[in-house]
Amino acid sequence: MKIDVNRLHTIADVQRAFASCFPGLRIEFYRQHHHASQGSPKEEQLPKDKTLGELGMPTQQAILDLDPAQSVADFEAQIERKLGVPAQVFRRSNQLWLQTSTTDSWTLEVQNRKGLHSVQTE
């Protein structure tokens, strides 16, 4: 799976495309980079209407590889490298969204499955 993005896409556009591939996950974008195994503060979240160009995307367009076998940490690093903005993946847990900071080594597929399972068992 791939997401083709350009500098005119908004954060919301990327979030919708990501959620269509991984409905048990959510992605948020931040002003500051977070360290491994640490979360990002909510007040650092970027507004969803910001375009990737406004945020400093280094190229005119990019393709994000959504490999289900890729770790969350590697996916977040890919986002920062290709889009020029830090990101954090969240996993659904019943009615809550949890930052995956302590489970960044898990694959997108495992995280998504856990998120979907939490909704089905409510």
Phi, psi of 4 (to 5 degrees): -95, 120
The amino acid at 19: A
**CA dist., res. 57 & res. 84, Å (int):** 5
| Exposed e or buried b per residue across 39-62, where buried means at least 16 C-beta atoms within 10 angstroms of its C-beta | ebeeeeebeeeeebeebebeeeeb
What's the confidence (pLDDT) of residue 42? Answer: 83
Q: Which residues of the chain have pLDDT under 70?
A: 34-38, 121-122
Q: What angle (nearest 5°) sits at the alpha carbon of residue 30, between those of residues 118 and 91?
A: 5
CB 10 within 8 A of CB 51: yes
Total of domains in the chain: 1
Apex CA 112: angle with CA 18 and CA 77, to 5°? 55
State the pTM of this model.
Answer: 0.89
Domain that holds residue 65: 2-120
